[in-house]
Amino acid sequence: MEKRRNLRAAVVGCGALARSVHLPNLKENPRVELAVTCDIDFEKARECCELYGAERAESDWRRLIDDPDIDLIILVTHTELRGELIVPALRAGKPVYTEKPLTTDREELLEIVRTSTQEGVPVCVGHNRRSSPAMIEFKRLLDRAKTYKNPVRPSVDRHYSRAKLPEEERLQLLIRIDDDARSWKEWGFWSPEGTMFNEMVHFIDIALWLNDSYPVRLFAEGSPRGNFVLVMRFADGSLTTFHHSMVGHFDYPKELFEATVNNISLAMDHHIEIRQFGMEDEEIVKVFPFNRDCDWAEKEGMSGYMQAMENELQRIKKEGGNLRFLRVNKGHYMHLDRFMDHIEGNGENPCDAQSAAPVNRIAVRALQSARLGMPVQIGCEDWHIPQISDD
């Protein structure tokens, strides 16, 4: 039997995210070959070509579209370049993995979805948290909790004296992001959409993924640049609250997801620890490893994280320098790997354009709410994409 060749990839955009995440992951993945690095700044493309072992560097992505030697395009640029590249790539039969956000433009969004459907060529959007091992486990536990027959009674229990309230059937979800604006790239401050769009698409996507109902109303309060709170109401009465800070410390665990439903409490802390109480046949605490380049952390989980950072503070007091970045697994490697499975006919697309489109529309609604200073409705035209004909 003839051995199937590895997928040959071209990376468009050689900035910080490509260098810190996608290019190292491609270099580590044995099933893909890095054929081209491309950037409008040819020196960046050439430098990444040499650093990560690509075969050639380019400054014009148009040369990649009809190149028969390219099987997959990985788009790691700002949202200014989306449909202009994605649509012709799909028409040329090339799958595209694109970083989030997909696009703020409604027509461009629909054109990408239509083209992918009509050509039968997939797009995967980099909502990588769907592929985080900890997040996958958190979703499994949450899905189970929604219908779990709970034998665990609390230390104080007076519920037998009354009928169950309708609110007790609803999911309450809190998503807390503790960010540090000192770490942001310059465009983060001048982008008209701000963090409320460019970063929150990750977390709106997770909220839609974890809730069983569809969103109907949203209120945003604060600065779209970074300090804000969003509250999203779903048709079944469930609520998701997003709390985003730009004035935290970069080396404190950034992401916390807390869910309560059916008298069960769940928390997933920074993709390294899950805690639950209420399901007697599940572990109360489950920990997940740090990235492979962080073997200097002696223990896993939140206690291991905090101990590692305490050791780092002591180290720099003696030696000087900066804290080492304790990286956690947010699913970047697995998300792309799952998309490659899908391209080869094995498994689902982890985040296709059709499922990403409502996320972008709802993020636009959040910006509208913050600027108006009042709640906004989320209509079916925001979260539902009509069936697209192949004709």
User: Please, how many CA atoms are within 13 Å of residue 153, restricted to the half-sphere of its CB?
Assistant: 6
* pLDDT band of 188, cuts 50, 70, 90: confident
* pLDDT band of 192, cuts 50, 70, 90: confident
For residues 182 and 90, membership in a common domain is answered with no
In a domain, residue 300? The reply is yes
Q: What is the mean pLDDT of residues 17-27?
A: 92
For residues 45 and 95, membership in a common domain is answered with yes
Longest Cα–Cα distance in the chain: 73
What is the pLDDT at residue 160? Answer: 84
Query: What DSSP designation does 30 have?
Result: T
For residues 68 and 174, membership in a common domain is answered with no
Reported as a single tens digit per residue, the pLDDT across 193-230 is 888 988 999 999 999 999 999 999 999 999 999 999 99
> Mean pLDDT lowest for which of 4-13, 257-266, 342-351?
4-13
For residues 270 and 177, membership in a common domain is answered with yes
In a domain, residue 388? The reply is no
What is the pLDDT at residue 4? Answer: 54
Q: Measuring CA to CA, how many Å separate 240 from each of 80, 160, 191?
A: 30, 29, 26
Does 240 or 355 have the greater pLDDT score? 240
Tokens of 335: 């998300």
Residue 64, pLDDT above cutoff 80? yes
Question: Ramachandran region of residue 262, left (φ > 0), alpha (ψ -120 to 50) or beta?
Answer: left
What is the pLDDT at residue 1? Answer: 35
Q: Strand 123-125 relative to strand 239-245: parallel, antiparallel, unpaired?
A: unpaired
Q: What is the mean pLDDT of residues 169-179?
A: 96
User: At 177, which CATH number?
Assistant: 3.30.360.10
* pLDDT band of 164, cuts 50, 70, 90: confident
Helical residues (DSSP H) of the chain, grouped into ranges: 16-17, 23-28, 42-52, 62-65, 83-91, 106-119, 133-145, 187-190, 194-198, 200-210, 301-319, 332-343, 353-372, 380-383
In a domain, residue 233? The reply is yes
In a domain, residue 25? The reply is yes
Q: What is the mean pLDDT of residues 358-386?
A: 92
User: At 48, which CATH number?
Assistant: 3.40.50.720
Neighbours of 165 (CB within 10 A): 9
Query: What is the extent of the structural domain holding 72?
Result: 7-127+346-350
What is the pLDDT at residue 389? Answer: 61
For residues 123 and 200, membership in a common domain is answered with no
Q: pTM score, two decimals? A: 0.92
For residues 294 and 247, membership in a common domain is answered with yes
The number of domains in the chain is 2
Residue 62, pLDDT above cutoff 60? yes
Q: What is the mean pLDDT of residues 64-83?
A: 90
What is the pLDDT at residue 96? Answer: 96
For residues 88 and 135, membership in a common domain is answered with no
